[in-house]
Amino acid sequence: MDHKAKKAFGQHFLKDMDVVRQTVATLPEPGNFTVVEIGPGRGVLTAPLLERYGERFYAVEVDDDLIPILQAQFPQLGNRLVHQDFLKFKWDALPTGDIIVVGNFPYNISSQILFQILEHQDRVVQVTGMFQKEVGVRVISGPGKKDYGILSVLLAAWYQMGLICHIPPQSFSPPPKVDSVVINLKRNERQTLPCNPIVFKQVVKAAFNQRRKMLRNSLSGFQPSDEALAMDYFTRRPEQMSLEDFFAVTLLLEKK
């Protein structure tokens, strides 16, 4: 297979079969859900996923040159091989019910993929993906850590998150200049947030966009009341705030 990786798509093709096995091992036995692979590339992860999930498996690939290769390799996929940019993917084209998302995510859009997942958290029950180490660690970081950020909080509202394994550059072709990780997100029991979800997202983004400032300054645009400003939360910086703390601050800002 002589397809050359394209920098424009952030392509680094996985070739380490041990990582493939560890990734597939995180996924449940076939059931009443659909599995979607993002960026199947040369198909190293596609093969075991298709074998395991059959007609409940879809693959989304943006690269024009890879589509005929994948069609020849996996003819049984048929129209379940979707030639599209995942960020423009039509989720309603999938069967109804729960969705599991998996893949060696293109590093140049991996954060955008996670924001897309958040848009569909009511259906996406699990995500297992390969990320640049810096991004993956940031996603699963908790309060008090320097990597803790916007995605850490927004995803923690809906998912339990953990690290599966570290991946060295030589596990890919061509090898990236960075280390990678596989992380796993599993949907928690929460059905609704205890605050307005739109305001919550705005609060988290505003706080971390000025992460060196105390919340009384970074959230001043929300015009918090004197009662709210008297609370301890507003003397903290965002990395000192737990998920529950952000819920509480959002509720305070909603009351004004």
CATH number of the domain within which 67 lies = 3.40.50.150
Give 229-239 pLDDT, tens digit per residue.
Answer: 999 999 999 99
Instruction: Please check the confidence at residue 13 and state whether its pLDDT lies above 80.
Output: no
Give 17-43 pLDDT, tens digit per residue.
Answer: 999 999 999 999 999 999 999 999 889
Decide if 63 is inside a domain: yes
Same domain, residue pair 129 and 163? yes
Instruction: Please check the confidence at residue 6 and state whether its pLDDT lies above 60.
Output: no
Q: Which of 151, 208, 144 is nearest to 185 (CA)?
A: 151
Domain boundary among 156, 187, 218: 187
Decide if 240 is inside a domain: yes
Stated pTM of the model: 0.91
Give the total number of structural domains in the chain: 2
Give 70-105 pLDDT, tens digit per residue.
Answer: 999 999 999 999 999 999 999 998 999 999 999 999
Same domain, residue pair 182 and 211? no
pLDDT at site 256: 61
Domain boundary among 162, 187, 212: 187
Same domain, residue pair 144 and 169? yes
Query: What confidence category does residue 242 fall into, taking pLDDT thresholds of 50, 70 and 90?
Result: very high
Decide if 192 is inside a domain: no
Print the domain residue range for 148: 7-187
Same domain, residue pair 54 and 113? yes
Angle between helices 133-140 and 110-119 (to 10 degrees): 30
Q: Which of 91, 106, 7, 19 is nearest to 61 (CA)?
A: 106
Q: Is 144 exposed, middle or buried (0-12, 13-18, 19+ CB in 10 A)?
A: exposed
Domain holding 216: CATH number?
1.10.8.100
Give 148-201 pLDDT, tens digit per residue.
Answer: 999 999 999 999 999 999 999 999 877 878 899 999 999 999 999 999 999 999
Same domain, residue pair 162 and 73? yes
